[in-house]
Chains A and B, each alone.
Chain A
Amino acid sequence: MDTNPKNPPIDRIDGRQKVTGAAKYFAEFDLPNMAYCVIVGSEIARGTMARIDTKKAAGAPGVLGVFTHENMPPIPGWDAPVGGQADGPPPKPKTEETYRILSSPKILFDGQPIAMVVADTFERATYAASLIKAIYTRQPSKTDLRKYLANGVMPGGAQGADYSRGKPDAYQSAPVQLEANYTIPIEVHNPMELHGILAHWTGEKQLMIYAKTQGVNATQQAMAQAFKIDPKNIQVHTEFMGGGFGMGLRTWPQETAVVAIARKIGRPVKLMVHRSQMFTLVGHRPYTVQTIQMGADTNGKLVGLAHAATAETASYEDFTEATVNMTKFMYACPNVSTRYRIVRLDRGVPIWMRGPGEATGAFALESAMDEMAHKLGLDPIEFRLRNYTETDPEHNRPYSSKHLKEAYQKGAEAIGWSNRKSQPGSSREGDWLIGYGMSTGTFNAFRWQANARALLKADGSLTVQSAVTDIGPGTGTALTMIAHNVLGVPIDRIKVEYGDTSLPNAPTQGGSAIVSAVGSAVFDVCTAIKKELIELAVQSAGPLAGQKPEALTLADGLLSVETDPSKKVAVAELMRSHNRMVIDKSGESKGGPNLQNYSMYSFSVHFVQVRVNPLTGVVRVSKAVSVADSGRIVSPKTAASQMIGGVTGGIGMALTEEAVIDHRFGRFVNNNLADYHVAVHADVPAIETIFIDKPDPYINPMGAKGMGEIALIGFAGAVANAVFNATGQRVRDLPITPDKLLRTA
């Protein structure tokens, strides 16, 4: 972790609450008279329910209601898509089918809710749910993307459009060529905290919701739409979230259903799903097959590059992500084309998972870059440098900031890149093969619109407010640092309130955009307070009377002349003398024309050392260094944690994570945490994080860009490249489990 004297690494402000259990997650809220809901999922992936027998369940002890398509209470706004995603409601499905929870006996995917059982305790609801028996008429299900690649359709929207510059097939005439396919399996977010909601109708048109959502305002909007009530009458609370990774980026149908059921039975209702339902009801990283075609000249310059991706989606909704985007702007290549298709399968709809499509795409592109470097006999870093670009070749405009060369160099030094042997399979330690690999990652740096409020009190304390949810990255800590840097209020006198719709509107926590968006809003309102303090000081009698506002600085509760610190006034005193017990500023913040004039991206470089046992095919990541070029680092300690978390996810993506479907049934066979392998401590070495920490001059007043996604994007490629360096075996299908190395041996 780098440190910058201006930004000392402070502890996570909510750390103590979290480790002592004082932090309250949605499921820990209990309300008087509360009932519990349990979902029964379909046991087939495609067909219809011929019959569903709910009699026994309805008669079981404590049961308050059993809801199926036969008696589901209506949801007035149901005809509109139930949206509320990070970037607005989803496009209206162009698909032939629609999915409305508990609205028909038709089954469109494995685990689709067929009944929701409500009882006075969780245990009784669970028991009653087990008594529900459905008889199905099964139809053949399509779940294997590899079998239906030919059914790919071009999705609507900018994401779906084919892209090309220069000559599309130029790679074919290059002296050195490469064509390779890469596969990413289904990955499931699997945060520790299970998905759910607690819905409480506090009045006929008044609703209180405790949810597991990455965006309280988005959930508020979705519920307002679904129940046709004024959003002002809906309060959504998500102060803490036990991991999201993208699964909370939309309001899921079962959440809306719980709200409807709560109204019907007239009691607060809590839903918390079963771990196996985390695989079917809250999205996943879609199975994606990619092809890279690459041509280079003998000097190591890229001549042509084509990237095609085909991903799964549901039969009832088109999900898209930016899988092929990186290829368009990462390297200085004159001839580039990309193509993105989706295949509608009998599957629940995917959702963004950390790093989303960019992580999928980076695995293919950065593996191919490594393969090509090897063909050319070039060091992988050197090959990237030969194709380095200072301007964005996709949009023909400058990057707002890019210090990737420095990142390559710093990362290479830290991992000991000079120890890498260019000949694969030539480095050993005892019986283990050693390899080094690297990869680049990049993700859009956004600046969304956000609101904030700040209240400075004469007692010297500051309160900062925004509705944003902190899903774990340390948003609250970052906002504290931003406020501290503007107003000089000591860290322990700053209180950040967040995660509730009663606070100023904020975007959904996602897209690595929150420090930029909400941070800017906090910066702005704190700057407004500072301006007012300075005005008070210079316009009235006192030590600073008549000073130029620009000449003053604010630190540790003192306003003083920068060049003559003896001229000063305590902020508290200043406020009291003007009888201002509080200065209260709120406002909206958004980016200006620079957002159009510059291409804004965060960049990362990942370096790994792996050890591979040639006999057993076991791969261990033995060293990891990740370098982030994401502008000014606002909160170094939580930023480092953010990187460590991303890399841990990257190790899972590279080596262990895969949700497996038995395509004969169209159903998952490893839908639990014993069989779906997230990386455990023993898989994760000490991770070194390095920050370039140079402000981006254009994106926002802090110069900070996001880093949640780049922590993961590219990491899996670095591991695959290191495995190749260690063994000479190229694994193009994630995860790299022992069987794959033994199979290609």
Chain B
Amino acid sequence: MNPFRYTRVTTPKAAIAAVIQEGGTYFLAGGTNLIDLVKREVILPEKLVDITKLPLATIEKTATGIRIGALAKNSAVADHALVQKQFPLLAMALNAGASAQLRNMATVGGNMMQRTRCSYFYDPSMPCNKRSPVQSGPDKGQPNGPAGCGAIGGFNRMHAIFGGSGKCIAVHPSDMCVALAALDARVNVAGPKGERTIPFTDFHRLPGDRPQNDNTLLPGELILSVDLPTNAFAEHSHYLKVRDRASYAFALVSVGVGLKMNENTIQEARLAMGGVAHKPWRLTEVEQFLQGQPATEVTFRQAATLAMKGAKGYGENDFKLTLAPNALIDALKTATKTA
């Protein structure tokens, strides 16, 4: 860990100002990811700006749905009555993540901003383009350790099958974000140039030539809250997380499903997968296909085949080419059965 400065702020404005003053400054929320990264020297901060005292932890009903503050704890969101009733998919996804202790510390904003768990990224003596970008600069990060992608040709069992690039095949590790992507969430942010709203599916990005950028947040921007629109999926929601042990492990593949059903017919569908791409992998095409289809195994299999268009294995993660469609079938089966 390198020596850094620490300040605590009480208004979003002060938080933003503190970050843009100098490079190498990070917001500190629950700290469950950031502190690990600092201890492992993946991140060498100049300054940490503690935002835990900002008034951004509320969860409230709005005219169009629900607004969840960026500093709401993962456990508070999962336990919230409104979330459990109207957005069970989000509650399920949150509870599938990490451990109870971590969920009590982790915030919604921090969860969205958490970095990949790629082992090479976490070990500064190993090659990694995300940690040590080839093009560096004030906005692009500084090199830290050897460049290259350790995972390509290496231990890539946990890695992406969709949307990877020759530079990076990491996945975004969040469970919560899979549910938020499926449920058409929108992210409210504030920055030096004012406030804006980002559709959740545009928040995270694919690695391309800039694997150092996980998302589209601009320097100095602070996540304020997440909005979820009211939906009709509560009855037929399921979050399936396939992992190496029953709890406290990141997803090999996860599937978030929300369906609106009429008898045995799927009227509307929302689908996203986790553990398969650099961002929560929304399956819009499959959603359209499912619309008006009977909830049968045949339908699910067709959906799964469609979902896998463009999938690519990198060796150790080839099994995901089987696991991902199977998990989708399994999740659809469960979601359509729920009464």
Q: How far is the CA of A739 from the CA of B247 in the complex (A)?
A: 17
Q: Is A677 an interface residue (CB 8 A)?
A: yes
Contact assessment for B150 and A679 in the assembled complex, using a CB-CB cutoff below 8 Å:
no
Residues on B with beta carbons closer than 8 Å to the beta carbon of A679 = 245
Q: Is B252 an interface residue (CB 8 A)?
A: yes
Of the listed stretches A196-204, A306-314, A577-585, A668-676, name the one at the interface; the rest are far from the partner chain: A668-676
- CB of A40, distance to nearest CB on chain B (Å): 12
Q: How far is the CA of A679 from the CA of B244 in the complex (A)?
A: 10
Interface residues on chain B, size class: 20 to 34
Chain A residue nearest to B120 in the complex (CB)? A669
Q: Is B323 an interface residue (CB 8 A)?
A: yes
Contact assessment for B319 and A743 in the assembled complex, using a CB-CB cutoff below 8 Å:
yes
Chain A residue nearest to B158 in the complex (CB)? A675
Contact assessment for B41 and A130 in the assembled complex, using a CB-CB cutoff below 8 Å:
yes
Q: Is B333 an interface residue (CB 8 A)?
A: yes
Interface residues on chain A, size class: 20 to 34
Q: Is A683 an interface residue (CB 8 A)?
A: yes
- Say yes or no: A738-B150 contact (C-beta < 8 A), given A127-B1, A662-B155, A675-B117: no
Contact assessment for A655 and B245 in the assembled complex, using a CB-CB cutoff below 8 Å:
yes
Q: Mark A292-329, 1 if CB is under 8 A from B, else 0.
A: 00000000000000000000000000000000000000
Interface positions, chain B 297-339, Cβ under 8 Å from A, are 319, 322-323, 326-327, 329-330, 333
Residues on B with beta carbons closer than 8 Å to the beta carbon of A43 = 125
- CB of A474, distance to nearest CB on chain B (Å): 27
Chain B residue nearest to A620 in the complex (CB)? B246
- Say yes or no: A664-B246 contact (C-beta < 8 A), given A669-B120, A738-B319: no
In this complex, which of B2, B126, B246, B248 has the most chain A Cβ atoms within 10 angstroms of its Cβ? Answer: B246
Q: Is B230 an interface residue (CB 8 A)?
A: no
Contact assessment for B333 and A431 in the assembled complex, using a CB-CB cutoff below 8 Å:
yes
Interface positions, chain B 189-244, Cβ under 8 Å from A, are 240, 242, 244
Contact assessment for A682 and B319 in the assembled complex, using a CB-CB cutoff below 8 Å:
no
Q: How far is the CA of A303 from the CA of B155 in the complex (A)?
A: 43
Residues on B with beta carbons closer than 8 Å to the beta carbon of A64 = none
Q: Is A616 an interface residue (CB 8 A)?
A: yes
Residues on B with beta carbons closer than 8 Å to the beta carbon of A669 = 119-120, 123, 126, 154-155
Residues on B with beta carbons closer than 8 Å to the beta carbon of A431 = 330, 333
Residues on A with beta carbons closer than 8 Å to the beta carbon of B123 = 669
Contact assessment for A742 and B319 in the assembled complex, using a CB-CB cutoff below 8 Å:
yes
Contact assessment for B154 and A664 in the assembled complex, using a CB-CB cutoff below 8 Å:
yes
- CB of B182, distance to nearest CB on chain A (Å): 19
Q: How far is the CA of A617 from the CA of B329 in the complex (A)?
A: 13
- CB of B44, distance to nearest CB on chain A (Å): 10
Contact assessment for B242 and A682 in the assembled complex, using a CB-CB cutoff below 8 Å:
no
Q: Is B35 an interface residue (CB 8 A)?
A: no
Q: Mark A648-685, 1 if CB is under 8 A from B, else 0.
A: 00000001100010101101011000110101111100
Residues on B with beta carbons closer than 8 Å to the beta carbon of A742 = 319, 322-323, 326
Q: Is A745 an interface residue (CB 8 A)?
A: yes
Q: Is B157 an interface residue (CB 8 A)?
A: yes
Contact assessment for A616 and B323 in the assembled complex, using a CB-CB cutoff below 8 Å:
yes
Chain A residue nearest to B98 in the complex (CB)? A674
Q: How far is the CA of A620 from the CA of B252 in the complex (A)?
A: 16
Contact assessment for B246 and A680 in the assembled complex, using a CB-CB cutoff below 8 Å:
yes
Q: How far is the CA of A682 from the CA of B100 in the complex (A)?
A: 13
Interface positions, chain B 131-187, Cβ under 8 Å from A, are 150, 153-155, 157
Residues on B with beta carbons closer than 8 Å to the beta carbon of A739 = 157, 252, 319, 323
- Say yes or no: A130-B322 contact (C-beta < 8 A), given A43-B125, A680-B248, A682-B245: no
Residues on A with beta carbons closer than 8 Å to the beta carbon of B247 = 680-683
Contact assessment for A674 and B117 in the assembled complex, using a CB-CB cutoff below 8 Å:
yes
Contact assessment for B330 and A738 in the assembled complex, using a CB-CB cutoff below 8 Å:
no
Q: Is B81 an interface residue (CB 8 A)?
A: no
Interface positions, chain B 240-277, Cβ under 8 Å from A, are 240, 242, 244-250, 252
Residues on A with beta carbons closer than 8 Å to the beta carbon of B3 = 127
Chain A residue nearest to B99 in the complex (CB)? A680
- CB of B41, distance to nearest CB on chain A (Å): 7
Q: Is A183 an interface residue (CB 8 A)?
A: no
Chain B residue nearest to A614 in the complex (CB)? B326
Q: Is A569 an interface residue (CB 8 A)?
A: no
The contact of B327 among A615, A670, A683, by CB within 8 Å, is A615
Q: How far is the CA of A660 from the CA of B119 in the complex (A)?
A: 11
Q: How far is the CA of A681 from the CA of B100 in the complex (A)?
A: 13
Residues on A with beta carbons closer than 8 Å to the beta carbon of B250 = 674
Q: Is A126 an interface residue (CB 8 A)?
A: yes
Residues on B with beta carbons closer than 8 Å to the beta carbon of A681 = 247
Residues on B with beta carbons closer than 8 Å to the beta carbon of A496 = none
Q: Is A444 an interface residue (CB 8 A)?
A: no
Q: How far is the CA of A675 from the CA of B119 in the complex (A)?
A: 9
Contact assessment for B322 and A745 in the assembled complex, using a CB-CB cutoff below 8 Å:
yes
Chain A residue nearest to B150 in the complex (CB)? A662
Chain B residue nearest to A741 in the complex (CB)? B319
- Say yes or no: A615-B330 contact (C-beta < 8 A), given A669-B120, A675-B117, A739-B252: yes
Chain B residue nearest to A43 in the complex (CB)? B125
Q: How far is the CA of A737 from the CA of B245 in the complex (A)?
A: 9
In this complex, which of A682, A739, A745 has the most chain B Cβ atoms within 10 angstroms of its Cβ? Answer: A739
Residues on A with beta carbons closer than 8 Å to the beta carbon of B126 = 662, 665, 667, 669
Q: Is A613 an interface residue (CB 8 A)?
A: yes
Residues on B with beta carbons closer than 8 Å to the beta carbon of A154 = none
Chain A residue nearest to B155 in the complex (CB)? A669
Contact assessment for B326 and A682 in the assembled complex, using a CB-CB cutoff below 8 Å:
no
- CB of B318, distance to nearest CB on chain A (Å): 8
Contact assessment for B330 and A680 in the assembled complex, using a CB-CB cutoff below 8 Å:
no
Q: How far is the CA of A660 from the CA of B333 in the complex (A)?
A: 34
Q: Is A385 an interface residue (CB 8 A)?
A: no
Q: Is A618 an interface residue (CB 8 A)?
A: yes
In this complex, which of B41, B157, B245 has the most chain A Cβ atoms within 10 angstroms of its Cβ? Answer: B245
Residues on A with beta carbons closer than 8 Å to the beta carbon of B41 = 130
- CB of A41, distance to nearest CB on chain B (Å): 10
Residues on A with beta carbons closer than 8 Å to the beta carbon of B319 = 617, 738-739, 742-743
Residues on B with beta carbons closer than 8 Å to the beta carbon of A618 = 242
Contact assessment for B323 and A677 in the assembled complex, using a CB-CB cutoff below 8 Å:
no
Interface positions, chain A 600-616, Cβ under 8 Å from B, are 613, 615-616
Chain A residue nearest to B157 in the complex (CB)? A739
Contact assessment for B330 and A683 in the assembled complex, using a CB-CB cutoff below 8 Å:
no
Residues on A with beta carbons closer than 8 Å to the beta carbon of B330 = 431, 613, 615-616
Q: How far is the CA of A745 from the CA of B319 in the complex (A)?
A: 10
- CB of B302, distance to nearest CB on chain A (Å): 16
Chain B residue nearest to A673 in the complex (CB)? B248
- Say yes or no: A656-B245 contact (C-beta < 8 A), given A431-B333, A617-B323: yes
Q: How far is the CA of A677 from the CA of B326 in the complex (A)?
A: 24
Contact assessment for A683 and B119 in the assembled complex, using a CB-CB cutoff below 8 Å:
no
The contact of A682 among B155, B240, B246, by CB within 8 Å, is B246
- CB of A133, distance to nearest CB on chain B (Å): 11
- CB of A633, distance to nearest CB on chain B (Å): 31
The contact of A664 among B119, B153, B248, B252, by CB within 8 Å, is B153
Interface positions, chain A 696-745, Cβ under 8 Å from B, are 737-739, 742-743, 745
Residues on A with beta carbons closer than 8 Å to the beta carbon of B249 = 674, 677
Interface positions, chain A 231-247, Cβ under 8 Å from B, are none
Contact assessment for B323 and A662 in the assembled complex, using a CB-CB cutoff below 8 Å:
no
- CB of A39, distance to nearest CB on chain B (Å): 15
In this complex, which of B3, B117, B327 has the most chain A Cβ atoms within 10 angstroms of its Cβ? Answer: B327
- Say yes or no: A677-B244 contact (C-beta < 8 A), given A615-B329, A739-B157: yes
Offer 23 A-B interface pairs, CB within 8 angstroms, sorted by A: A130-B2, A431-B330, A615-B330, A616-B240, A617-B242, A617-B319, A617-B323, A656-B244, A662-B150, A667-B126, A669-B119, A669-B123, A674-B248, A674-B249, A675-B117, A675-B119, A680-B246, A738-B244, A739-B157, A739-B319, A742-B319, A742-B322, A742-B326
- Beyond the given pairs A669-B123, A669-B155, 8 more chain A to chain B contacts, judged by CB atoms under 8 angstroms and listed by A's residue number, are A126-B1, A669-B119, A674-B117, A677-B249, A682-B246, A683-B246, A742-B323, A743-B319
Pick the 3 closest A-B CB pairs, nearest first: A682-B246, A739-B319, A682-B247
B residues whose Cβ falls under 8 Å from a Cβ of A:
1-3, 41, 117, 119-120, 123, 125-126, 150, 153-155, 157, 240, 242, 244-250, 252, 319, 322-323, 326-327, 329-330, 333
